[in-house]
Amino acid sequence: MTIAKVLSIVMLVSLTFGAGLQVDREHLKSVFSEVGLLTRALLANVVIVPLVGVIVTTALRLNPYIATGILLMAISPGVPFVLSGARKKGGRLSFAVALAFLLPVVSIVTVPITARLVLPVQAASELPLAHFVTVLFLFQLLPLLAGMAVTAALRRRIPALERACQLLFMLSVIALVIVLAPRIAHSVSVIFGSLGIIAIVLIDGSCIVAGWFLGGPQSDDRRILALATTLRNIGLVASIATTSFREPEIVAAALTYFVVQVAASVAMTVLFTRSAQRKALA
């Protein structure tokens, strides 16, 4: 196993384990009765965003490998650490927690199916389905459940564990970029200087819009769903890209998408936090 593959697995495990640390059974019970809201959340994340991805990448006639990296991000719902601070950002904590649990669980089923439907034909044929499902089960579902188990047993240490997961994730991202730099440097420059970056911005903007309007009448829920829909699962995509494909454009496109979504989520976080503070003072 190469260093890049190990780092991508570390990214995915730290993301999903960190998501599991955020899950509280009481919060889950309080929001899982809201079938309509959760259905719209799934609609935004597993149907609308992949559909927009296909439309945009097809309309712009992107290089198939750049399109593959972008579409892998589009079909992979996020495991957003940022939702752990939902209250500060003006969102409902119980809804944020439900998404932190629901999205990674549902994606175990939806991502392999969606990949077969939306990826370019050549990329889809190169993707071994059995290996794909194994990665999802071992490095996404099991760490999520482990995080939930740890939360129930060690509540006082959860904040420190969350910070450790965030740090491990960021360090693994940086290390992966360094390791792959010789392979992807040219590809990243091509993506930033081409229609690829336009495609990413359009899809990212669609994520925000879809999450906001499908979040229902409550602004707190709209903020959380807009943020959750924007953040796609870079850990999963990096794991798939480094284990199943050799083309550097795929990883480069996914990492470029990650940079754009981080910038968008930071901007939304600042906006939502200020809005929540004004609401609290009113």
Residue 91, pLDDT score? 56
Distance CA 61, CA 66 (A): 10
DSSP the chain: --HHHHHHHHHHHHHHHHHHHH--HHHHHHHTT-HHHHHHHHIIIIIIHHHHHHHHHHHTT--HHHHHHHHHHHTSB---GGGGGTTTTT--HHHHHHHHHHHHHHHHHHHHHHHHHHS-HHHHHHS-HHHHHHHHIIIIIHHHHHHHHHHHH-GGGHHHHHHHHHHHHHHHHHHHHHHHHHHHHHHHHHHHTSHHHHHHHHHHHHHHHHHHHTS-S-HHHHHHHHHHHH-B-HHHHHHHHHHH---HHHHHHHHHHHHHHHHHHHHHHHHHHHHHHHHHH-
Please name the residues in contact with 140: beta carbons below 8 A apart, sequence gap of 6 or more. Answer: 12, 16, 104, 107, 108, 236
Residue 204, pLDDT score? 94
Residue 276, pLDDT score? 66
Residue 110, pLDDT score? 93
Q: What is the CATH number of domain 3-281?
A: 1.20.1530.20
Residue 84, pLDDT score? 54
Residue 159, pLDDT score? 79
Residue 61, pLDDT score? 92
Query: Tens of pLDDT along the chain (282 residues)?
Result: 688 889 889 988 988 898 888 777 776 676 677 889 999 999 999 999 999 999 999 999 999 999 999 999 999 997 655 555 554 555 577 788 788 888 888 998 999 999 989 998 777 777 777 777 888 888 888 998 898 888 777 777 777 888 888 899 889 989 988 888 877 777 777 787 778 999 999 999 999 999 999 998 888 889 889 988 998 999 889 888 888 888 888 988 998 999 899 888 888 877 877 776 676 666
In contact, 99 and 91? CB cutoff 8 Å: no
